[in-house]
Structure 1
């Protein structure tokens, strides 16, 4: 993380400078990691699964993470950003080696993934939900949230889920008796 000391830009208002000053920037994140691991179940029930996300388990994921981390450090060392940055707080300037960066990410990093795909939509019987958002094998039940998205969105989920909700409302309205 990098803490901004102050922001100076002639086109920004004083209020915006005040809002941005002292904020934290968390620039490193990998949307599509390669490491995968099945979720084993010890028994039935919602708390029975032991989840290990397998973060940074592949050489590709480690290389991409270190490369992006170093690129962000280079970016923050250039003007006009450099003179506006007070100091790096996490993992700190002493963390330099690839293994140190990876270790810091695993120890101090957090997950930014949004839960998706647990009720994935699909055109065939492999999908839990059909293209009309109906749960296969259950009459009168639709799922309208990010769990129906079959793949990770490369950005914030607000737009896709809002669009999905509008589409679902249209589907539900059309399925009502007497609907046009």
Structure 2
């Protein structure tokens, strides 16, 4: 991560474009500039995220019959990663609380941010996530990650509803 200096007027403009609490300046700028990542040829414009795998997951009988919310949580995170690894990586880097990291590529980073984080590997990803948080915090993590990945509000609402469905 690099540090840049910007004038107060530009900072206020970027801050005014915040869509939700905890959104990083990098995420805001990526959204405003509609950029995903740099390639050898320059800036690549973001493509809409294909959320069909996520919709299929949360509507599946296997997902809905899963009793453990932590398993549902890990399934959603894994599917988000598989939908778009680069957007997930950018979103994961900016996802943290005031004292705690929620996602990291190593267990030690998560253990340093709390005594009892219970890190677990997110299946099919290089990421680990804290799992000792309550249901509201898990929903917050999923929601913030999806927003930072520019997933539509309709899909975010569906995922949240299905996540806690009994």
Could you tell me the TM-score, scaled by structure 2's length? 0.25
Higher helix share: 2
Structure number with greater CO (CA < 8 Å, separation at least 6) is: 2
Which structure: greater strand fraction? 2
TM-score by length of 1: 0.24
Between structure 1 and structure 2, the one with the greater Rg is 1
